[in-house]
Amino acid sequence: MFGLGGIFVEVMKDVSFYLAPLTHQEALQMLENTRSYALLRGARGQAGVDLDSIAGALQRISQLVTDFPQIEEMDINPFIVGEVGTAPVVADARMILSGVK
């Protein structure tokens, strides 16, 4: 699942779902399938963010949960992205593993 978070998910239900593992192209399609995609590309004088870095992260995360089926749940919020050429940053994450108490 991908969404911008906050009001975009909670009120507007602006999310995209795909099954893991993702290809890079599928990860880009996840972004494109949200209503907030125009904001990610840049709007009203604001620069866009590095869409390829988001897609790459989505692809790697999808491979992680494929390789480790004991991952039952993962929440990454916020995932901070910047303009093209800047590395994304995970500011907070939570993972629930099966059989772990």
Domain ranges for the chain, please list them: 2-97
Cβ-count burial 38-52 (b if 16+ within 10 Å, e if not): eebeeeeeeeebbbe
pLDDT tens figures, 47-84: 999 999 999 999 999 999 999 999 999 999 999 999 99
Query: How large is the greatest C-alpha to C-alpha distance in the chain, in angstroms?
Result: 49
CATH class, 2-97 region: alpha beta
pLDDT value at 9 more than 80: no
pLDDT computed for residue 101 by the predictor: 64
Mean pLDDT of the chain: 92
